[in-house]
Structure 1
Amino acid sequence: MPHLFIDYSDNLAGLPEQQMLTELVATVCEHPSILDELDVKARIAPAKQYVIGTGSGLRGFIHADLRLMAGRTPEVKKELSDRVAEVLRRFTPHPEGMLVQVSVEITDMDRPSYHKGRL
């Protein structure tokens, strides 16, 4: 914990995946509510099959789901969401004529059912 999942439409050519992930993890780790940088795990996956609305036109998206152990205040969640969104905006390509949606969700993980171990 935390886990950071990034999904994006595969029409965002040139998205610097590794560079963006590195920056996202650093940004999350800098927040005072994150106690151990080793706990932050991030992954990214392009969506090859997706639909955005019902209209025509060139559309794309990038979405981050930051999963945190339950118990953080709404203010802390908002701070983390804003930090992640800022990095996504900075790294996401915006091709001419394309509407690109950027979204971030903070998800609480259930503490009693979460298991983590180290080998």
Structure 2
Amino acid sequence: MPHLTLEYTANLGLDADAALLALNHALAGSGLFEEADIKSRAVPLHSFRSGTAATPRAFAHARLALMPGRDAASKRHLADALLAALSAQVSSPGLETQLCVELQEIEADCYAKEYRHG
């Protein structure tokens, strides 16, 4: 835990691997997670719509799923750190672009995990 999913419109200038690494570093740097427990993935969106105008637009949405137990200040710090890391990775010349981060707590009773080594 945690799980980070980055959805982004395919028209963004985004190196998904570099973005995931930067986001993972932001999470590891928070001191709230073990480095090996951070899992992230990127999903490019080839079919998308932002609003109704014909204006060229793009977006990226990072959703962080984590176990409960962190206070509001820690969650705000995580959201801000992830947004800063994402912003540094996105190039969107000529596009109206929205970047956002969402933190979502997982219900601990409904989560199962298994470790395997070897």
The separation in 2 between residues aligned to 1:4 and 1:80, in whole angstroms, is 12
2:97 pairs, out of 76, 84, 100, with 100
How far residue 32 of structure 1 moved from its aligned partner, in angstroms, is 2.0
Q: Which residue of 1 aligns with 2:51?
A: 53
Is structure 2 residue 4 aligned with structure 1 residue 9? Answer: no
| Structure 1 residue 105 displacement after superposition | 0.1
1:38 CA drift (Å): 1.0
Segments of 5+ residues of structure 1 without an aligned counterpart are: none
Deviations 1:87-109 (A, max 9, x none): 1111101212x100000000001
> What displacement does 1:67 show?
0.7
Q: Which residue of 2 aligns with 1:113?
A: 110
Which residue does the alignment assign to 1:29? 28
4+ aligned runs moved over 3 Å, structure 1: none
Percent identity over the alignment?
A: 32
- TM-score computed with the length of structure 1 as normaliser: 0.93
The residue matched to 1:56 in structure 2 has which SS?
coil
Where do 1:81-100 residues align within 5 Å?
81-96=79-94, 98-100=95-97
Report how many aligned residue pairs link the two structures: 116
Q: Is residue 42 from structure 1 mapped to residue 71 from structure 2 by the alignment?
A: no
